[in-house]
Structure 1
Amino acid sequence: MAVRSGVYRGVSAEERAAARRSRLLEAALAVWADEDTRTTMTAVCAAAGLSERYFYESFTGLDALQEALMNEIAAEIEETSRRAADQAGSDPEKRVRASIRAFVQLLLDDPRKGRVAIVESVAVPKLRRRRTELLRHLAHQSAVEAREHLRTPGRTENEDETAGLLFIGGMAELVTAWLDGALTASADEIVDAASRSLLGLYR
């Protein structure tokens, strides 16, 4: 029985709502990444085991849910890559390889994340702009990392930003081909190629 504080069986109303939101995000990842399933609010709710009432508790619509999922994946990619680079120390090449390997490993651990954020989002008109914004943000972070750790003499900030866009745009296409099966390559080959590309752009 709920008490006046909103706590039910030791769990607050806010905690229950947050748990339902997480279930919907996980369900959206499963449904959206499944090429044989049409991504609808009904399909997501069914996968989450929740009614539409609880869907609207957290999201205004399907597009809002998909955008929230994209944001979550992008944040995970950025955090995972930065943490790996920092753990690699101060050597620029080691930082680059560690960062890219962490990203590739994230995709290997759960290919659905790369598929929905990079591949499937292109097919949703209302999400294309957000996809572009997220890719440009990652490109900027690449430029910031290069300025802080590669320290190439004589380069302008604009040149760094341009290189970041080239790298992230190329990575998006590389990952798309890899996840679609159009490119046959091992994780090590992807890491090697991407590392050479990034270091070459900033030197």
Structure 2
Amino acid sequence: MAVQSGVYRGVSAADRAAERRSRLLDAALTVWADPEIRTTMTAVCAEAGLSERYFYESFSGLDAALEAALDHIAAEIEDISRRAADAAGQDPEARVRASVRAFVQLLEDDPRKGRVAIIEAVAVPKLRQRRTQLLRHLAHESALEAREHFGGPHRGETADETAGLFFIGGMAELVTAWLDGTLRVSADEIADAAVRVLLGLYR
């Protein structure tokens, strides 16, 4: 649906559309993360306080909205982890600990994000492949990070990518157990475990 032109109460049509899209994404996150609520377009619109007309202004359908929510979380995880690592300096161990700690803190601050990205996305057939793509992207980024800061001419690119997949896959399972209450550990203990694993994989 086309966005109407014009300014209303000092806010442009494009800004109003962006604000509605943001509300719908947040609503999708809330509904999707709640196992007691069936994830439907109607439920998302009700949570956002917007009509279906505005839903279709931003998304072609429910799967598109859920994929956008998943992509937004993945981008936030990547951004916050990278910024934390860069702030930690050049020491590889400090970078890993800061990166993972920031990631876990994000999930502590908003548990919806971890549940959606790591648990709920698996249950949606059309999004399962997208989740896999995002995890492999994060694995590749981990491999690039390790290659830059751990070095090692004896190890090839394939070995780095393999280790990255091991690391991200293991982190996904660890965080899943933490989120569903199977594993009772602190955020610092998760970060410490991640450091041990990554050091073992790349050194």
- TM-score bucket (shorter structure): over 0.9
Amino acid at match of 2:33: A
Question: Residue deviations 1:106-162, cap 9 Å, x none?
Answer: 111111101001100000000000000000000000000001111123110100000
Give how far 1:62 is off. Answer: 0.5
Structure 2 partner of 1:79? 79
In structure 1, distance between residues paired with 2:184 and 2:92: 28
Give how far 1:21 is off. Answer: 0.1
Segment drifting more, 116-125 vs 191-200 = 191-200
In structure 1, distance between residues paired with 2:39 and 2:5: 37
The answer as to whether partners of 2:119 and 2:176 remain within 8 angstroms in 1 is yes
Identity %: 78
In structure 1, distance between residues paired with 2:133 and 2:79: 17
The answer as to whether partners of 2:96 and 2:194 remain within 8 angstroms in 1 is no
- Find the residue that maps to 1:174 and give its secondary structure: helix
Structure 1 partner of 2:187? 187
In structure 1, distance between residues paired with 2:90 and 2:77: 20
Amino acid at match of 2:158: N
Structure 2 partner of 1:38? 38
Give how far 1:5 is off. Answer: 6.0
Normalising by the residue count of structure 1, what TM-score does the alignment of the two structures yield?
Answer: 0.97
Question: Residue deviations 1:12-55, cap 9 Å, x none?
Answer: 10000000000000001111111111110000000000000000
Amino acid at match of 1:102: A
In structure 2, distance between residues paired with 1:53 and 1:155: 54
Instruction: Give the unaligned 5+ runs of structure 1.
Output: none
In structure 1, distance between residues paired with 2:55 and 2:165: 36
Amino acid at match of 2:66: Q
Structure 1 partner of 2:201? 201
Amino acid at match of 1:155: R
Amino acid at match of 2:71: N
Normalising by the residue count of structure 2, what TM-score does the alignment of the two structures yield?
Answer: 0.97
In structure 2, distance between residues paired with 1:24 and 1:119: 21
Structure 1 partner of 2:147? 147
Structure 2 partner of 1:112? 112
Amino acid at match of 2:178: W
The answer as to whether partners of 2:27 and 2:48 remain within 8 angstroms in 1 is yes
In structure 2, distance between residues paired with 1:80 and 1:47: 27
Structure 2 partner of 1:100? 100
